[in-house]
Structure 1
Amino acid sequence: MPFHNIESRCIAFAAICQAAYLIDKIATKGTCPDSAAFDASLHSIMRVESDTPLEIYGSYSALEVGFRSMLEQLDNAGNSRNMQITKYIIGMLTLEKKLNKNKATLSLLGQRINQVQRQLAHFDINDASVLSNLDSIYRDLISTLGPKIQINGSPSCLQQAQTQHKIRALLLAGVRGAVLWRQLGGKRRHLIFSRKAMIHQTKQNLHRV
């Protein structure tokens, strides 16, 4: 991709943060706080080819939740960082690294995503049958690659099948964001050495919402 710059990488990292934030809220509260952000995250799984990184998510406003969560993670002046979200982000980055090294799984992933794309001709992205399909893709192909990401939340919420499907679909979306982050040249060291620049860029992105 010709978009190896901090603006593009901040879009990708915000997508990871958005998935992690929504997972935390669904796991603890049982409901998604932003349906538009949820849908945008899931649609990104389907957009395997695009002209620009932003096109994968549709608009800056579709990533507003992610930009705000990203600032909480990186600009921790008021001790506002949610460590559970941090763990989810690290877990998704780790799984993506394993996925990138497994060509057979990447091929299977592409085939399974194509099946969901055909399903979307008849159903919305947030339909129960689509969520169940995305859930199974994550369970079958991604979660087996490395240590499982432990989700903490309300037991009464986590026991519900629909909640589980939403969470695993978002984990898949988060890994999709991590794939984009790597493709755009994103490295873990950027989160340390380029942190101030990323914070500045993310604040600019929020002004575009």
Structure 2
Amino acid sequence: MSKEHDQILALAGLMQNSIQVQRIARRGNWEETTASTGIYSLFQMDADSVVAVYDGYRNLIPGLNQLKRLFMRKVERADMEITRYAMTLTHLENKLMKEQGMMEKIRDGLTAISSEFDIHDISNTSFLDRLSGLYVDTVGTIEPRVKVEGNQEYLTQTTNISRVRTMLFCGIRSAVLWQQCGGSRWSLMFGKKRLLKTVEEILEA
């Protein structure tokens, strides 16, 4: 795949994880298959390709469809909230990339977690708590923090707190990948037509 295709896949991952943050905050649940894709991507630190990070582009269909609506300007209020989460995560990623010590702490933390847990078992609350804790100790120390809005009944539940933080962590992973593939805000602002074409090519493949 081209560099532009790789950028779109990483962006789709970012949007997909942002969708899950919103879903947890407003509905009190998440889509397990999609969440599993995000969590899987966290541990693919030495993958051979971008598509391998997500175990296939088909696992990014929700995120690709979200990008398609965004680039076609067919967005609703809920879509704008998702985009806000994604853009805040790109701000955090930009700062995180300048903190080499923190990046190493994240890598070491993920390596330790993967040695203790089955990374596919997203029903394991201890696994999610560890990911949540690593997020808090690393990305969570950087400003601006992501302001998650939703139903307080859901947002105050321990399980959902861990899920939200885990999905934000996954979003950061995709934001880092996007930047590593040459993604930039400039291209998002002025290359929407070209990016839309790339999204459609991937969806039609």
TM-score category of the 2 structures, normalised to the smaller one: over 0.9
Q: Say which is worse superposed, 135-144 or 67-76, in terms of deviation.
A: 67-76
* CA–CA separation in structure 2 for the residues paired with 1:125 and 1:106: 24
The alpha carbon displacement at 1:125 in A equals 3.7
Please list every run of 5 or more consecutive structure 2 residues that lacks an aligned counterpart in the other structure: none
- The equivalent of 2:177 in structure 1 is 180
- The equivalent of 1:85 in structure 2 is 82
Write out per-residue CA displacement over residues 37-92 of structure 1, whole angstroms, 9 at most, x where no aligned residue. Answer: 1100111000001111000001122111111111222221x343622111101111
* CA–CA separation in structure 1 for the residues paired with 2:163 and 2:116: 17
1:27 to 18, 21, 25: 25
- The equivalent of 1:154 in structure 2 is 151
Give the match's secondary structure for 1:31.
coil
Distance 1:126 1:63, change over 3 A: farther
Give the match's secondary structure for 1:153.
coil
Give the match's secondary structure for 1:189.
helix
Q: Residue 139 in 1 paired to residue 144 in 2?
A: no
TM-score w.r.t. the length of structure 1 is 0.92
* CA–CA separation in structure 2 for the residues paired with 1:196 and 1:24: 27
Please list every run of 5 or more consecutive structure 1 residues that lacks an aligned counterpart in the other structure: none
* CA–CA separation in structure 1 for the residues paired with 2:8 and 2:119: 33
State percent identity of aligned pairs.
25
Distance 1:126 1:53, change over 3 A: farther
Write out per-residue CA displacement over residues 110-140 of structure 1, whole angstroms, 9 at most, x where no aligned residue. Answer: 1101111112348724421111011011111
The answer to whether the 8 A contact 1:43-1:125 is kept is no
* CA–CA separation in structure 1 for the residues paired with 2:69 and 2:60: 14
* CA–CA separation in structure 2 for the residues paired with 1:171 and 1:87: 12
